[in-house]
Every structure is written in C-alpha cells, then in structure tokens.
Amino acid sequence: MGKFVVRQTNTGIKFDLKAGNGEVIATSEVYATEAACMNGIESVRTNCAADVEDQTVENFETLKHPKYEVYNDKAGEFRFRLKARNGEIIAVSEGYKAKAGCFNGIESVKKNAPEAPVEKI
C-alpha cells in the first residue's frame, strides 16, 4: 500500500506520495505550514480520480479541472501534474522516458492516494 510522506525542507514542508515499493509517484509544492500541506494531501485524495489530458498529442481535447496533464518536459521526458478543481497544481511526477510509464504513474496515484496513510518524518 502507498503512503504520503510529509517532511520538512529548508524552505517549508512538502509531501511525497510513495507506492508500496517505496518509489515516489508524485510530489507536492513546498508549503509554508503543516496545515497547508495536509490540505494539499486531502486535495490529492479528493481529485485523484480525475481524467487525463494528454498534451503530447496534436489537437488534444482540453478537459475541465480536476485533471491530470501529461506533457513533455525540456529534457523530452514525460511528466504529469494533477490539477485541482480550482486549477491549482497539487502534485507533480518525476520524468518518465516512456509515455506508458507516465500513465502507469497516474494509475498508481489513483490507486494509492485515496487510502494512503500519512507518515511524518
């Protein structure tokens, strides 16, 4: 089972959603307070069942929020970002060499986030 890992950084507090194997699936922005970070986790839980907008194909259909946006980064890798109903980015992925891996990451968020416990380190 996956888990949210909340940790302090030099500039605030953030979370990583980790799969059962310990791999980071998605990470958050840096929040100023722990309460804001916990709200971010709840937002991921609430919005994780969203549809996917694949921005790597021509003439892609623009979806309403909440949604996952799949895109190519500057290095040519595939990434996703989960946007909440208000359009705010609430979680982002690491880069994937293959688009299939990126889509697997999204499925992992959908599977793990709703029931994932929170661990503070």
Correct CATH for 3-120 of 3.20.20.10, 2.30.29.80, 3.40.50.850, 3.90.180.10: 2.30.29.80
pLDDT, residue 1, reads 86
Structural contact between residues 118 and 8, judged by C-beta atoms closer than 8 angstroms? no
- Residue type (1 letter), 102: C
Instruction: Report CA torsion sign: 114, 46, 89, 13.
Output: negative
The neighbour count for residue 107, using CB atoms within 10 Å, is 11
Task: Tell me the domain boundaries of the chain.
Answer: 3-120
Q: Over range 53-60, report the average pLDDT.
A: 97
Q: What is the pLDDT of residues 4-55, one digit of tens each?
A: 999 999 999 999 999 999 999 999 999 999 999 999 999 999 999 999 999 9
Q: What is the pLDDT of residues 65-118, one digit of tens each?
A: 999 999 999 999 999 999 999 999 999 999 999 999 999 999 999 999 999 999
pLDDT, residue 88, reads 95
pLDDT, residue 14, reads 98
Confidence (pTM): 0.95
